[in-house]
Amino acid sequence: MPLADIIREEIERDGPLPFSRFMELALYHPGLGYYRRGSAVFGREGDFYTNAQLQPVFGRLVAQQIDRWRQELGAPAEFCVVELGAGRGETAEVARRCLPGVRWTAIEMGCPWPDEPVVGVVFSNEFFDALPVDSVERRSGGWVERRVGRRGEGFDWVLGGEVQPRAGLPDCPAGNRIESCERAMEQLERIDRLLQRGFVLSIDYGYTHGEIATAGKFPQGSLMAYKNHRADPDVLLEPGERDITAHVNFTALIERGKELGWETLGFSPQQEFLARAGAGDNFAYALGADTEDAAARLRMQLKTLLFGMGETFRVLLQRKG
Ligand SMILES: C[S@@+](CC[C@H](N)C(=O)[O-])C[C@H]1O[C@@H](n2cnc3c(N)ncnc32)[C@H](O)[C@@H]1O
């Protein structure tokens, strides 16, 4: 049965769906969801690029930075890295070669998390933007949920009731829309239970509440669908055929981290983070290659990491314990 029919049936049965349920089915329905169909989604043959395709330079720089934090923690024998939403495992593959002896656990949808609390780093690249979110609209008295209903053979937005999202939302004028990220908050709480002591390194694109309030970013919300390297704000089209993302609410991540007792060590553009990671001899190491052609390819990767994705992606570093 096509995924759109499954969603239509669920709407017939339960009424208009929270957007998070629509997004969950569109991306993660077993066998039919965008990330579960087994077809190419990353890179040139897929629908979008991430840092993880810029290997080995990305993996080498991240690994070098993580090794500094390992030293800072006193290089404990049990030090390990847990990577959330590892995708095709490209970063894990490179980083494991750079950090022999360090356990790097790459976790994808449906993989178990380590049973025991860990000391080390919980790392993710474009994990939080792929978590299902709800869509809410600002009203003078509060927030109203936007649900997904049927329209002919397709889907359309339907206003639901008033909601009081648990995750902090930015201050914005009535009529504006934004996403509420309860699932991201749940993941932070899960990370808190997992991480006994160490760092949480989250790389993603996103905004702060201040940017929404003062720069008027995303008046219609930040939901976006991707197919064949094209972005489309109509996220209700072709469920299962396209990626759906929301910009990450970094203020919500930072504030929930503080509530969990974590310290925010840094929040910077990826460019700055990688420049620091490459300090000392690390750029030379990251760009090391056997042939001039290979070296030129690695220099191009670094350029894209610093000046393409480097300006739009951001890096949040939090510390527990
Ligand atoms: C945008 S992709 C990024 C993949 C990879 N980190 C990269 O940069 O190429 C998001 C990934 O997060 C995974 N994901 C989403 N929810 C997850 C969850 N609850 N647990 C583990 N992985 C999840 C998806 O399956 C997908 O592979």
Query: Can you give the CATH number for the domain in which 192 is found?
Result: 3.40.50.12710
For residue 50 and ligand 1, the question of a CB distance below 6 A is answered with: yes
What is the Cα–Cα distance from 205 to 225, expressed in whole angstroms?
15
Distance 161 CA to ligand 1 centre (A): 31
What is the Cα–Cα distance from 312 to 227, expressed in whole angstroms?
19
**Which amino acid, residue 101?**
G
Distance 86 CA to ligand 1 centre (A): 6
Question: How many residues make up the chain in this entry?
Answer: 321
User: At how many degrees (to 10) do helices 57-72 and 90-98 cross?
Assistant: 50
Per-residue pLDDT of 62-101, as tens digits, reads: 999 999 999 999 999 999 999 999 999 999 999 999 999 9
Model's pTM, two decimal places? Answer: 0.97
State which residues form the domain around 41.
Answer: 3-320
Distance 124 CA to ligand 1 centre (A): 9
Tell me the torsion sign for CA atoms 63, 248, 89, 46: negative
For atom 12 of ligand 1, which residue has the closest CA?
85
What is the Cα–Cα distance from 259 to 252, expressed in whole angstroms?
11
For residue 46 and ligand 1, the question of a CB distance below 6 A is answered with: no
Per-residue pLDDT of 194-232, as tens digits, reads: 999 999 999 999 999 999 988 889 999 999 999 999 999
* Banded pLDDT at 111 (limits 50, 70, 90): very high
What is the Cα–Cα distance from 59 to 98, expressed in whole angstroms?
8
For residue 92 and ligand 1, the question of a CB distance below 6 A is answered with: no
Q: Which atom of ligand 1 is nearest to the CA of 51?
A: 8
Total structural domains within the chain: 1
